[in-house]
Homo-oligomer: A and B are copies of this chain.
Amino acid sequence: MSSRNLPPEDRPVAALLAPDIIALLEESPSTLAVETEEIHPADLADVAELLDRDQLKAFLDALGPSRAADVLEYLDEELRTEFLEAITPRQAAELVTEMTPDDRADILDEIDEEHAEEILSEIPSEARRVTEQLLAYDSDSAGGLMTTEFVSVSADMTVENALENVRAVARSGKKEAMHNIYTTDAQGRIAGVMSLRELLAAPSGAKISDIAWTEVVSVRPDADREEVARVIANYDMVAVPVVSESGHAMGVITVDDVIDAIQEEQTEDVQKFGGMEALDEPYMQIGLFAMIKKRAGWLSILLISETFTTTAMQHFTDELSKVALLGLFIPLVMSAGGNSGSQATSLITRAMALREVEVRDWWRVVARELPSGIILGSILGAIGMIRISAWQWMFQHNIALGYNYNSLGPDKLTPIPGTWKLMALTVGFALVGIVTFGSLAGSMLPFILKRLGFDPASASAPLVATLVDITGLTIYFVVALIILHGTLL
């Protein structure tokens, strides 16, 4: 669970209950199951995380397999894996058999493969078959998210009969997804859907075929989790069926798993945008070297790319040595390009993730970013010019801006009147060009990555900044050559 991380003030139950539960464990473990039956398994999992290893084993034993399975589903992943690997395969099999097939598959997927095989071999054969089938799907796909147990009824049943069927399933204690009830045709293909509420609202004499919706919104087993999330969000669903190409219902994805998937996807996107590989584990839990590995790759690539700024500057050593003042503004103009590029990239990657913008819309984005860049660049250019002028006015006697000091060495400055005006113009116009280029480059990068088959979310702020740096430098020096030609250069 990605969200087992509420601070204590939000989970008072756990902190309050821990001492009582420890006392019960020591004094009368046989009453523990009854005493805790009103408590949400998520809260019991919080308590379990406060226990030591032996206490945890005793606690789950005392709860009994069904309830212990509920608690395990909410337990911290690392602790759960450790626990299931420490007990015997038979004990572990008894616990995971009580889980819904999707949770069972997810949990076995996390633990050591050899252990998982041993546990699987102890699971009843039908449950084993289903679990192995789910394990075969990519855990980020609809197939990996679905549970295979859901409720379907025959379309020609009466509402009352169907309701009796549903009540029988609910009473069986199995954990079928039951927000929606499905109907299937003679070939076993999914034919209709109704909510439990619609079933309850139906007049007593009605037939299921009268009330079921025949347009069933569904997803394919290979749909990725982002698509599942979009469908669920789009149609305000609490569960979506997974349907094979031949129309057979393979399982159901419930909204709680989709929320977890959305949160994980968002964490990945944020980390990628920060300029690294997604960690795939909580920050405080991942090993230091595993984390460094995820960060070092992009940092190295970006560093090597950035060495081209040095190459670019070598082409302008002549200008730099004549007008060293130019060097002083390099960080300023470069960062403005990176910042405007970062804005544009964050806007477009997010709009692409939400499908507000498709690859074919690239020219519409250009049509917005070009004027935006020019206007933003003009604003920044004006600020830059005002700042340089203000500087000159405030510090004209003790600062080098009024001088072209470089060619004679630092101790012998030659005042050239109006130098600061020329520098202000250079910085101002360079900012217009660089911010415009930054906005365009930052907005186009996600399109280019997607077109090339990469994840557009890899368009990170540091990547855009690096790409814009090299061009930004060139723009700056070209503007300087034009404006300073014949005076300082």
B217 near A40 with CB under 8 A, answer yes
Q: Complex Cα distance A198/B169, Å?
A: 11
B1, B215, B375, B400: the one within 8 Å of A39 (CB): B215
Expressed in whole angstroms, the minimum distance between the Cβ of A151 and any Cβ of chain B is 10
Binds B, one of A23-31, A376-384, A481-489: A376-384
| In contact, B409 and A321 (Cβ under 8 angstroms) | yes
Knowing A259-B233, A356-B283, say if A346 contacts B313 (CB, 8 Å): no
**Stretch of A59-67, A182-190, A328-336 with 4 or more beta carbons under 8 angstroms from chain B:** A328-336
- List residues of chain B with CB within 8 A of the CB of A179: 179, 238
A234 within 8 A of partner (CB): yes
Does A405 touch B at the CB level, under 8 Å?
A: yes
Q: Which residues of chain A from 194 to 242 have a CB within 8 Å of any chain B CB?
A: 196-198, 200-201, 203, 213-215, 217, 227, 229-238
From A79-87, A112-120, A261-269, A447-455, the one touching the partner chain is: A261-269
- Please give me the residue from chain B that is nearest to A321 by CB atom: B410
User: Are A256 and B276 in contact, with the CB atoms below 8 A?
Assistant: no
Question: Pick the contact of A170 from B197, B295, B384 — CB < 8 Å?
Answer: B197
Contact across chains for A355 and B7 when beta carbons are under 8 A apart: yes
Interface residues of A (CB under 8 A from B): 1-7, 10, 13, 38-40, 42-43, 163, 166-167, 170-171, 178-179, 196-198, 200-201, 203, 213-215, 217, 227, 229-238, 255-256, 258-260, 262-263, 266-267, 269-271, 273-276, 279, 282-284, 288, 291-292, 295-296, 298-300, 302-304, 306-307, 309-310, 313-314, 317-318, 320-322, 324, 327-332, 334-336, 338-340, 342-351, 354-358, 361, 364-365, 368, 371-372, 375-376, 379-380, 383-384, 387, 399-400, 405-407, 409-410, 431, 435, 460-462, 465-466, 469, 473
Told that A38-B214, A321-B405 touch, could you supply 7 new A-B pairs with CB distance under 8 A? A38-B213, A40-B235, A43-B215, A270-B346, A300-B380, A310-B328, A339-B466
A-B contact pairs, 16 of them (CB 8 A): A3-B234, A10-B231, A171-B203, A233-B256, A233-B260, A255-B256, A262-B263, A271-B350, A283-B351, A295-B372, A298-B339, A299-B380, A302-B335, A303-B384, A330-B331, A342-B461
